[in-house]
Amino acid sequence: MPDESATREKLVECARQEFLEKGYMKASLRSICKKAGVTTGALYFFFQNKEDLLSAVVGETLGGLMELIQSHFSKELDTEAKMALNGDASEDIRASKEILHYLYQHYDIVLILLAKSQGSVYETIVDRFVDVLEQHYDKLTEQISAKLGQPKPDRYIIHWASHMQIDAFVHLLTHEKDEEKALKNIEQIVAYLVAGWVGAFARK
Amino acid sequence: MPDESATREKLVECARQEFLEKGYMKASLRSICKKAGVTTGALYFFFQNKEDLLSAVVGETLGGLMELIQSHFSKELDTEAKMALNGDASEDIRASKEILHYLYQHYDIVLILLAKSQGSVYETIVDRFVDVLEQHYDKLTEQISAKLGQPKPDRYIIHWASHMQIDAFVHLLTHEKDEEKALKNIEQIVAYLVAGWVGAFARK
Amino acid sequence: MPDESATREKLVECARQEFLEKGYMKASLRSICKKAGVTTGALYFFFQNKEDLLSAVVGETLGGLMELIQSHFSKELDTEAKMALNGDASEDIRASKEILHYLYQHYDIVLILLAKSQGSVYETIVDRFVDVLEQHYDKLTEQISAKLGQPKPDRYIIHWASHMQIDAFVHLLTHEKDEEKALKNIEQIVAYLVAGWVGAFARK
Amino acid sequence: MPDESATREKLVECARQEFLEKGYMKASLRSICKKAGVTTGALYFFFQNKEDLLSAVVGETLGGLMELIQSHFSKELDTEAKMALNGDASEDIRASKEILHYLYQHYDIVLILLAKSQGSVYETIVDRFVDVLEQHYDKLTEQISAKLGQPKPDRYIIHWASHMQIDAFVHLLTHEKDEEKALKNIEQIVAYLVAGWVGAFARK
DNA sequence: GATGAATGAGTGTTCATTCAT
DNA sequence: AATGAATGAACACTCATTCAT
């Protein structure tokens, strides 16, 4: 929004391609500039350094994604707990599809974030997503265990399951380029994960 | 086995440390040689290039691991199918623990393989593990679906679940340094995963 | 006098800080403009180049200093020669204090000139001060040697002693931030230097 | 002594020229390598960085000079004090000539050290020389003042006079390329400085 | 078996300066 | 009077790799 410079936009666009192709570390600023038809000096007029350029590529999308995830996983838990007890995964599926849609709308950038950002500040971004989910599931299992009169799953298993859920998105993205097919698959994945939670309670 | 040169071994050992510390891409051959107290020429006498050195570090352990996994997931499926139908996960747990034990015995190298090999041939190693599991589960679900008279889960969900299972190991390894604790956690994970399979069948 | 632009003044002010902090060579025009809140284009509207900017910072003060020195060392020499012969250094001390006061009033700029101008036209400024003194002492020693009937000190020693006198100011400035203390020290320095001249005559 | 590589020596030699010509900061490693007919990689095989290269150029000579100065100014002071009281500067002259000879034998390098090292670790090297002299003169004036029954000159004036003495060497070196002429001049300089000390005592 | 030396292309980054608007 | 954009050359430094000895 704030910037309308054509050169800047061309740089961001070429950087996106380069990061996607080679990953952050192997990406070459020279190569990006060459593609964009400018000199390195021009790049450094718009961006402070390599990492800042990555942020420019990724920032907006990341912000939106973070918001989306938080909005889904920071809601009132009561309804969700009840649905979970009834084995109703419809809400989970709806949320997952919404997120998935966002991911596919920003396909390249999300891929850079999740799989090509090694060596940058974003290399641990997955962990931050996991954190959000983990807090959500911590509270949710708390409620469910209270209602069931059964012990809550281990901290570790909650963390792990949150991780798995994020990994499920990553996997979809990296293995299925077509959004429609991905949307079909996500339903089954959610079914698997929901059933997994059942196992997590039963076991304990 | 084939090599008994002290220099070679020192190089491999120092390379292991360097790869573990910095990851494959950021690892410096110079730095490895310095630690080993030899010159780069010596390194290039024993190894063809950087990647070959990584193979020397990782090869044996990887081979053993591949064998172990294959031995577990290429057996006769009949018994396993029956156990699965009875909800008996004891065999799965036993197998998982055996693999986990192997992973912890070769902790550093496995970590390099699974989390520090980006930029090398091994960056897709996880996929090869997944392949083995996928083939196994493909056949297993075939049998189970036949016995249940229910449709088999999708190809994708089989692939994905296999991936999740491998990721579970990766997660354990990277989040839990202590083998004993990891062994406790794996039980719950297996419970979760087994329950997940149930969900995968039910859905379809 | 000639310029009243607020931007120009801000630039000169910020340049002064930067030059003082980093020295001429390491000073960055970018950094100066940033501090001043303008772009490099603005700087180049007012100044031709980096050196011209330094001149703007330093020019007026340098001019005043040059005048002051010249006014002190281009006077009639007769009286001074007589005082010197009587061992009376009071006039020298007075002059030195007046110059020193000027230096401390323009502390930053003088410091830039004397110690931070390497790489610019002013890196040899000390030599120009020395020239003035040298001419003065050349004539003065001429008179004194005539009156004493003793040979004049060597050209070199006259040049050197002039240099020492300038260096004395530089040293004071760089080692003593407080003007009052500097004023006390200068008396002893003058005593040292005057006595030195005696030695210069005696020797020859 | 320790190194006999022709390339290394050529690099050191070319670096000496470059540092002398442009000063440390403006010296370009590229340019040095070009002159030496090697690539930058070769330079970095022998030296850790730009500063290390400067050390290689300057180190030995600096070590020798430091020793020489220390050997002259760390001796027993008793004789010197007596000579000073008798106005006998012959020993001072002898020492100064010996040092001066050393300086002229290593003309280029000394010049680099004293006048071209700004931006490197050596930019404050003069201060270290001054320190040695200052300590020497502190003790010497102590003895002399005791014998004279007169107060010792100020700390500041001792520091300053030490500085002047070093500056005298710097001045000679930078203004007189011919050692023989320099040797003649030094006698008069010493006479001036010795007389100056007399003034320093008288004043106080 | 291993060294010491060297290559050559590459890295991200900074700089004073220019100029159309 | 000043901006925003861009140049182009330079910088110190690092890398995997090679090879004569």
Evaluate whether chains A and C are touching (3 or more beta carbon pairs less than 8 Å apart). Answer: no
What is the per-residue pLDDT for C203?
A: 57
Q: What tokens does C77 get?
A: 């020499």
Q: What is the DSSP letter of C87?
A: T
D93 pLDDT higher than 90? no
Residues of B in contact with A198 (CB under 8 A): 195, 199
Residues of D in contact with C176 (CB under 8 A): 156
Do D175 and C167 lie within an 8 Å CB cutoff? no
Residues of D in contact with C157 (CB under 8 A): 185, 188-189, 192
Helices of type H across A27-124? 29-36, 40-46, 50-73, 78-85, 90-105, 107-115
Please name the chains neighbouring D, where neighbouring means 3+ C-beta pairs under 8 angstroms.
C
Please spell the DSSP secondary structure of B128-176, one letter per residue. HHHHHHHHHHHHHHHHHHHHHT-PPPPHHHHHHHHHHHHHHHHHHHHH-
What is the per-residue pLDDT for B204?
A: 47
Minimal Cβ distance to D188: which of C23, C154, C194:
C154
Do B197 and A192 lie within an 8 Å CB cutoff? yes
Closest chain C residue to the Cα of D200, Cα to Cα: C192
- What distance lies between CA D98 and its chain's CA centroid? 12
Evaluate whether chains D and C are touching (3 or more beta carbon pairs less than 8 Å apart). Answer: yes
CA D63 → C1' E7, Å? 34
Q: What tokens does B100 get?
A: 């986990």
Residues of D in contact with C175 (CB under 8 A): 156, 159-160
Minimal Cβ distance to B160: which of A25, A171, A181:
A171
Which nucleotides along chain E are within 7 A of a protein C-beta?
1-20
Distance from CA of A62 to the nearest CA of B (A): 23
Q: What tokens does D156 get?
A: 């500041």
CA B39 → C1' F21, Å? 15
What is the per-residue pLDDT for D106?
A: 96
Question: What is the C-alpha separation between B83 and B147, in angstroms, rounded?
Answer: 12
What is the per-residue pLDDT for B201?
A: 86
What is the per-residue pLDDT for A203?
A: 58
Select from A188, A197, A201 the residue whose CB has the most chain B CBs within 10 Å, as the one to mutate to test that interface: A188
Residues with Cβ within 8 Å of B64's Cβ and at least 6 positions away in sequence, in order, are B102, B106
What is the per-residue pLDDT for D1?
A: 39
Residues of B in contact with A181 (CB under 8 A): 156
D204 pLDDT higher than 60? no
Q: What tokens does C170 get?
A: 């530089």
Distances (CA, A) of B91 to A58, B97, D195: 45, 10, 101
Do B195 and A193 lie within an 8 Å CB cutoff? no
What is the per-residue pLDDT for A136?
A: 92
Minimal Cβ distance to D192: which of C26, C171, C199:
C199
CA C41 → C1' F3, Å? 7
The residue-averaged pLDDT of C171-192 equals 92
Question: What is the C-alpha separation between D113 and C25, in angstroms, rounded?
Answer: 18
C-D contacts (CB, under 8 Å) = 114
What is the per-residue pLDDT for B202?
A: 78
Check: CB of residue A143 under 8 Å from CB of residue A81. Answer: yes
CA D42 → C1' F21, Å? 18
Q: What is the DSSP letter of A1?
A: -
The highest-confidence range among A85-89, A105-109, B73-77, by mean pLDDT, is A105-109
Q: What per-residue string of b and e applies to D106-145 under the rule 16 or more CB within 10 Å gives b?
A: beebbbbbbebbbbbebeebbeebbebbbebbeebbebbb
CA C40 → C1' F2, Å? 9
Do A153 and B187 lie within an 8 Å CB cutoff? no
Evaluate whether chains B and C are touching (3 or more beta carbon pairs less than 8 Å apart). Answer: no
Distance from CA of C18 to the nearest CA of D (A): 16
Interface of D with C (CB under 8 A): 23, 25-26, 118-119, 153-154, 156-157, 159-161, 163-164, 167-168, 171-172, 175-176, 181, 185, 187-189, 191-200, 202-204
Question: What is the C-alpha separation between C138 and C146, in angstroms, rounded?
Answer: 12
What is the per-residue pLDDT for B81?
A: 85
A-B contacts (CB, under 8 Å) = 114
Question: What is the C-alpha separation between D18 and D24, in angstroms, rounded?
Answer: 8
Flag residues of chain B having pLDDT under 50. Answer: 1, 204
What is the per-residue pLDDT for D189?
A: 92
The 10s digit of each residue's pLDDT in A152-166 is 999 999 999 999 999
Residues of C in contact with D204 (CB under 8 A): 188
Closest chain B residue to the Cα of A176, Cα to Cα: B156
A3 pLDDT higher than 60? no
A135 pLDDT higher than 70? yes
Q: What per-residue string of b and e applies to B191-203 under the rule 16 or more CB within 10 Å gives b?
A: bbbbbbbbbbbeb
The 10s digit of each residue's pLDDT in D98-157 is 999 999 999 999 999 999 999 999 999 999 999 999 999 999 999 999 988 889 999 999
The highest-confidence range among A34-38, B81-85, C72-76, D172-176, by mean pLDDT, is A34-38
Question: What is the C-alpha separation between C109 and C120, in angstroms, rounded?
Answer: 14
Do A196 and B200 lie within an 8 Å CB cutoff? no
Do C192 and D163 lie within an 8 Å CB cutoff? no
Do A195 and B200 lie within an 8 Å CB cutoff? yes
- The larger pLDDT score, comparing residue D195 to residue A75, is at D195
Do D119 and C25 lie within an 8 Å CB cutoff? yes
Which residue is the nearest neighbor of F6, CA to C1'? A42
CB atoms inside a 10 Å sphere around CB A105: 12
Question: What is the C-alpha separation between C63 and C74, in angstroms, rounded?
Answer: 16
CA B113 → C1' E8, Å? 32
User: What global pTM score does this model have?
Assistant: 0.90
The torsion angle over the Cα atoms of residues B89, B170, A163 and A51, rounded to 10 degrees, is -170
Q: What are phi and psi of B22, to 5 degrees?
A: -110, -10
The residue-averaged pLDDT of A57-79 equals 89
What is the per-residue pLDDT for C204?
A: 47
* pLDDT level of residue D203 (50, 70, 90 thresholds): low
* pLDDT level of residue A46 (50, 70, 90 thresholds): very high
Select from D88, D112, D160 the residue whose CB has the most chain C CBs within 10 Å, as the one to mutate to test that interface: D160
What is the per-residue pLDDT for B3?
A: 53
Q: First CA to last CA across chain A, in angstroms?
A: 50
CB atoms inside a 10 Å sphere around CB A146: 11
The residue-averaged pLDDT of C58-82 equals 87
